[in-house]
A = this chain, B = another copy of it.
Amino acid sequence: MANDSKVVPVPVLRRMPAYLSFVKTLQKQGEKYVSSTRIAEYMEIDATQVTKDLSHTGISGKTRVGYEVDNFVEILDDFLGFNKINNAFLVGAGSLGCALLQDKGLRNFGLNIQKAFDVDKSKIGTKINDVEIFHVDQFRGMPGECNVAIGIITVPAECAQNVADLMVAWGIKAIWNFTPARIKVPAHIAVQNTTIYTNLAILFNKLHGQE
């Protein structure tokens, strides 16, 4: 039975791409069905957790055979939003910003970066992976009709709040913040903080903590 709540707990969402990845691998191997037990073994978690997580998505299994692989992949891809194109603006075409613009994988997962912005005059007018870089002053003047809901922040941390304010004033509905700064935005704006360097600190701590 599908859960009525639309906002799914983050720990559940963190597991789902791993479920999807595992079942896609089985699909490539020509398998037709997968049980919650098998997914649970792969994930090294309890099978009841798997069925509980999947109840959010509307995927339903059959007694004894489990989940149908093709159906599982289609529903979960859809549920995670990877099948729908979401347009985004990126502000900060420095090293990390350019790296994101280079990553064609993002489009496969539903994110289309339409335009990039920076303050460096030497970059304005150039393109990375077909995305043009504009001056950040032009952000304010961009027409509001262009159906862009997501703003990506890849500026230095001390500029993050200014960029967030600019995005909110423009009409962005969700912000993907790649800086370590904590931004303050109105409650109706969705924020996702992703600091890959934080993951690096966690890895270093695991590595050096055991030496």
A positions within 8 Å CB-CB of B: 6-8, 10, 13-14, 16-18, 20-22, 24-25, 28, 42-44, 80-82, 84, 86, 94-96, 98-100, 102-106, 109-111, 149-150, 157-158, 173-174, 176, 179-182, 188, 190-192, 194-210
| Copies of this chain held together in the complex | 2
Q: Chain B residues near A200 (CB, 8 Å)? A: 81-82, 106, 109-111, 176, 192
How far apart are the CA atoms of A40 and B191 in the complex, in Å?
Answer: 19
23 contacts between A and B (CB under 8 A): A7-B205, A7-B206, A13-B205, A16-B201, A17-B180, A21-B157, A22-B181, A24-B157, A44-B182, A80-B205, A81-B201, A81-B208, A86-B207, A106-B197, A110-B200, A149-B207, A173-B207, A174-B203, A174-B206, A188-B210, A192-B200, A192-B203, A194-B199
